[in-house]
Structure 1
Amino acid sequence: MSTGTGRTAPREGAAAPHRSPDVPVVASRRGHFWVPGDTVAVSTGTAQRGPMFVQWEAPEQLRHEVPLVLVHGGGGQGTDWLGALDGGPGWAQQFVAAGFAVYVVDRPGHGRSPYHPEVIGEMGAPFSYEAAVGLFAPPERAGEQSAWAWGREPGDDGLDQLVAAFGPLPADLGWSQELDADRLARLLDRIGPAVLVTHSAGGPVGWLAADRRPELVEAIVAVEPMGPAFVEFPGMGALEWGLTAAPVTYDPPLGSPQAVRAADPADRRIPGLAGTEVLVVTGGSSAFADFADDVVTFLRDAGAPAERLHLPDKGVHGNGHGMLLEAGADRACAPVVRWLAERDGRTI
């Protein structure tokens, strides 16, 4: 039904999200704080560069000792974890309902973490509808991507909801990842050991945080992480250091992107990932699934006991790159919750 504005009205008979009987009621504690940015001189005086907003929630009865830190993808924001496009609960709520405390971050320059070019650097291009469709709902996969319940043109409510949340990335991908990793490391300094749960372009931040704070990263769940190694993204940058655009520590030392690329895979050991359990999660209808095995192989060469969780292997079908936002986001999350619960040897 048209609203007369070119927008699609909500489906007739659809319940308002707060009236849905399918949304679990969870008693919880919640709050927020900031990881402050650096102080820098600017034209108007002194400013902060790249503060990071952190929203946290913990169930009334914690069932798992180690919290989860949820890191969104490129151009997105922490709200990616807070709700699906249909207004239903997101993965953050699923984790809390399962007994985990969660910390949801807005990476510097994204969402509630302010962006100003004078302190962070030049902005990349605006996030377009065409980019959103190509990444999250490619027409060539429409027949198999059953979890995408919306259209693919501006004016469709679901696609509008998706694009509304996206902003520009910093133009310098490597610098952006450096900034993210520093703030995430300082968050871990404050809250202690945690499991990182990353999505898409948030994936490199997980590898970099483990490089900087290996003793504080218990495990990493990488949902459709950027890859494969050394790939170049037109208009964005390249993963010059393997799975990151920012420098990461190798042993034996590899001091340049060229040295990393030329090295034998057996010499691409990353001490920060040694022994760190990594789960790479992919959807059955996503192009990211096509190179996920290459990412797992790179991580294993780096020293991480990495494994892959492909949702169709768990009976969950039709998911694309935005599985945390699609219809039935709870079904896509359930195998991840099970993996996290099973690996947590310190259940309270």
Structure 2
Amino acid sequence: MITHTAPHASISTPQVTSHRGRFWIAGDVVESDFGPAQRGPLYVEWEVKDPATTRPALVLIHGGGGQGTDWLSTVDGRPGWAHHFVESGYPVYVVDRAGHGRSPYHPAVVGPMGPAFVYPAAQGLFVPQEKADVQTGWAWGREPGDPQFDQLVAGFGPLPDDLGYSQELDADRIAQLLDQIGPAILVTHSAGGPVGWVVADRRPELVRAIVSVEPMGPAFVEFPGIGKLDWGLTAAPVTYDPPLNSPEEVEKAAPESRRMPGVAGKDILILTGGASAFADFADEVVDFLNHGGAQATHAHLPDHGIFGNGHAVMQEQNSDQTIRPVLEWLEGR
């Protein structure tokens, strides 16, 4: 008799009784050289312990090049943040952004792909060698062939070449998701952060609050090979009041004049790790949002007694701890 053993069979994964399912936000039907095709469908999977819960839904939006699986489990096979949110009673919707993961990409209908996501890019973003001494949350190897690092990189693919178009596409599909499920709290990561700001601009009445983990920034930054946040914290246009009608007007405007109706009055949490370069500009992101009218705060994990985390705080060995400030913040809403 041959026994097949899963790579993580030795990991003790708790049994969960829940209701779950999956569906698609269909893409636009467009003409292609091959006939009518869908452009940019959005894959969604959902889970809830108690369908009668009164807790708000959470929509989990992954980062650039990643996919919804980033929230489902860790690189060493433990349950991910999505599991902990479900266990805490929240209805959870995990999406694959358009052109990522299980949301199909074809250049003929979505547009040109950006560069491949290569190991050096993953090393610089998630496990920089200069942070090795302080990034104790990443307890594994940092080179191609190291099992946990390979698990991290395996799920990453290219972004659409046009960053602004990619954010517009994501925001449109997630706005349609909110139209179906009703008001929700967005939980974003990294390059998914700007998508959250654009969704709030498109559906302000349906975004109850935002948790943004290590969001892309600061305002107006350009990421080589990816694109620039032309409109402040986004590459896609968002609404300002009084109106600012071009990226140039936004960048030249006084900070206090950049009011953003989409986030005005909304509770927003920015979460950063102690060994991440994204923490260096997080306060600038908070200031930009608060000038826009938001009620944004910064939770830096070391201030909560949680040390050694890089950019992928939901993947590292202490992920059961890194989620705690988020759960506490949600409880306080």
Q: Distance in 2 between matches of 1:166 and 1:64?
A: 35
For the pair 1:70 / 2:31, whether they are aligned, the reply is no
Q: Superposition pairs for residues 93-132 of structure 1, below 5 Å?
A: 93-132=83-122
SS in 1 for 2:262: helix
Which of 207, 212, 215 is 1:225 aligned to?
A: 215
Q: Distance in 2 between matches of 1:144 and 1:263?
A: 38
Contact kept, 8 Å, 2:55 with 2:89, in 1: the verdict is no
Contact kept, 8 Å, 1:324 with 1:332, in 2: the verdict is yes
* 1:188 corresponds to: 178
Post-superposition Cα deviations, 1:85-119, rounded to whole Å, max 9, x if no partner, equal 00001000010011111000000000000000011
Post-superposition Cα deviations, 1:151-178, rounded to whole Å, max 9, x if no partner, equal 1111000110011000000000000000
**Displacement after TM superposition at 1:179 (Å):** 0.3
Q: Residue 112 and residue 305 in structure 1: after superposition, are their counterparts in 2 closer, same or farther (change >3 A)?
A: same
* 1:311 corresponds to: 301
Aligned-pair identity (%): 64
Q: Distance in 2 between matches of 1:278 and 1:225?
A: 12
Letter of the 2:229 partner, please give it: L
**Displacement after TM superposition at 1:205 (Å):** 0.5
* 2:3 corresponds to: none
Letter of the 1:342 partner, please give it: G
* 2:34 corresponds to: 44
* 1:205 corresponds to: 195
Which of 20, 39, 43 is 2:11 aligned to?
A: 20
Contact kept, 8 Å, 1:211 with 1:272, in 2: the verdict is yes
Contact kept, 8 Å, 1:62 with 1:101, in 2: the verdict is no
SS in 1 for 2:309: coil
SS in 2 for 1:131: helix
**Displacement after TM superposition at 1:61 (Å):** 6.7
* 1:271 corresponds to: 261
Q: Residue 27 and residue 304 in structure 1: after superposition, are their counterparts in 2 closer, same or farther (change >3 A)?
A: same
Letter of the 2:67 partner, please give it: Q
SS in 1 for 2:38: strand
**Displacement after TM superposition at 1:64 (Å):** 4.5
Letter of the 1:145 partner, please give it: Q
**Displacement after TM superposition at 1:24 (Å):** 3.2
Which of 261, 283, 294 is 2:273 aligned to?
A: 283
**Displacement after TM superposition at 1:18 (Å):** 4.8
Q: RMSD of the alignment, in Å? A: 1.4
Q: Distance in 1 between matches of 2:11 and 2:231?
A: 46
Q: Distance in 1 between matches of 2:31 and 2:163?
A: 23
Q: Distance in 2 between matches of 1:334 and 1:18?
A: 26
TM-score (norm 2): 0.96
Q: Distance in 2 between matches of 1:175 and 1:20?
A: 40
Which of 248, 252, 257 is 1:262 aligned to?
A: 252
* 1:328 corresponds to: 318
For the pair 1:137 / 2:141, whether they are aligned, the reply is no
Aligned length: 329
- Runs ≥4 residues deviating over 6 A: none
Contact kept, 8 Å, 1:72 with 1:80, in 2: the verdict is yes
> Unaligned regions of 5+ residues in structure 1, if any?
1-14, 344-348
Q: Residue 32 and residue 98 in structure 1: after superposition, are their counterparts in 2 closer, same or farther (change >3 A)?
A: same
* 2:21 corresponds to: 31
Letter of the 1:118 partner, please give it: A
Q: Distance in 1 between matches of 2:171 and 2:149?
A: 30
**Displacement after TM superposition at 1:140 (Å):** 0.5
Q: Distance in 2 between matches of 1:286 and 1:316?
A: 13
SS in 1 for 2:322: helix
Letter of the 1:72 partner, please give it: H
SS in 1 for 2:332: helix
Contact kept, 8 Å, 2:25 with 2:177, in 1: the verdict is yes
TM-score (norm 1): 0.92
* 1:8 corresponds to: none
Contact kept, 8 Å, 1:62 with 1:99, in 2: the verdict is no
Q: Distance in 2 between matches of 1:284 and 1:36?
A: 39
Contact kept, 8 Å, 1:145 with 1:285, in 2: the verdict is yes
> Unaligned regions of 5+ residues in structure 2, if any?
1-5
* 2:44 corresponds to: 54
Contact kept, 8 Å, 1:137 with 1:148, in 2: the verdict is yes
**Displacement after TM superposition at 1:48 (Å):** 0.4
Post-superposition Cα deviations, 1:280-327, rounded to whole Å, max 9, x if no partner, equal 000001000000000000000000000011111111111100011111
Q: Distance in 2 between matches of 1:319 and 1:65?
A: 29
Contact kept, 8 Å, 1:62 with 1:100, in 2: the verdict is no
SS in 2 for 1:160: helix
Q: Distance in 2 between matches of 1:161 and 1:325?
A: 10
